[in-house]
Amino acid sequence: MEAVPEEKTEAARNDETDEKVEEQVDELALLEEKLAKEEERYLRLRADFDNLKRRTQLERAAQEKYRAQSLLTDLLPALDNFERAMQAEATTDEAVSMKQGIEMIYRSLVEATKKEGLEPIESLGAEFDPNIHHAVMQEHDESKDPGIVLQELQKGYMLKDRVLRPAMVKVNE
């Protein structure tokens, strides 16, 4: 009769071992699942970081490229005023001398702005392009094709590859 309790004890031990193994298997599965989630989270964070790094580099490059945009925008009215002043007729020697001085200042200002990448938009005789032109008037001229710029009312400017100010133009109907 003593053999029966040993069998129960051995069966109980097997059950306990099976339960421990099942618990360990369940715990291992949970840990593997948690590890997979953490790896996925790490990969997403790494991708987000790489995207942020790339975006920051692009923004920094654009900021460097267009660093003078604000200053050049503020200088455009001064360039316009210089051009108007140079169109005035000088009748006296003093006025001629003053006009020459204005032209010298204008040329040096234009050279300085060109060094920063400012270029005038050539409009007269060109086909109207809404990306670089601002049509404020229309006129009919039979000697020109429709959509051709007839007159430039205000000069437009590009800063490198960006339109700083569109040219104000009169377009043929």
Instruction: Report which of 114, 98, 97 is spatially closest to residue 158, judged by C-alpha positions.
Output: 114
- Please state, in angstroms and rounded to a whole number, the distance separating the CA atoms of residues 105 and 82: 9
Q: Do 44 and 87 lie in a common domain?
A: no
* pLDDT computed for residue 1 by the predictor: 46
Contact 143, 172 (CB under 8 A): no
- Residue 157 pairs with which residues in a beta bridge? 120, 165
Q: Do 95 and 13 lie in a common domain?
A: no
* Sign of the alpha-carbon dihedral angle for 155, 160, 161, 164: negative
* pLDDT computed for residue 95 by the predictor: 92
Q: Do 89 and 28 lie in a common domain?
A: no
| Domain limit, last residue, from 65, 82, 114 | 65
Q: Do 76 and 55 lie in a common domain?
A: no
Q: Do 8 and 45 lie in a common domain?
A: yes
Q: Do 93 and 138 lie in a common domain?
A: yes
Per-residue pLDDT of the chain (173 residues; tens, 9 = 90+): 444 455 557 766 777 777 888 888 888 999 999 999 999 999 999 999 999 999 999 999 888 888 889 999 999 999 999 999 999 998 999 999 999 999 999 999 999 999 999 999 999 999 999 999 999 999 998 898 999 999 999 999 999 999 999 999 999 98
Secondary structure of residue 154 in the 3-state scheme: strand
Taking the model in full, what pTM does it have? 0.69
Q: Do 54 and 91 lie in a common domain?
A: no
Whichever domain contains 110, its CATH number is 2.30.22.10
Q: Do 59 and 76 lie in a common domain?
A: no
- The number of beta carbons lying within 10 Å of the beta carbon of residue 83 is 14
The boundaries of the domain holding residue 1 are: 1-65
Q: How many domains does the chain have?
A: 2
* pLDDT computed for residue 14 by the predictor: 72
* pLDDT computed for residue 9 by the predictor: 72
| Domain limit, last residue, from 65, 84, 104 | 65
* pLDDT computed for residue 8 by the predictor: 57
Q: Do 128 and 87 lie in a common domain?
A: yes
- List all residues 6 or more positions away from 72 whose beta carbon is below 8 Å from its beta carbon: 113, 116, 118, 157, 159, 164
Structure tokens at 173: 């109907």
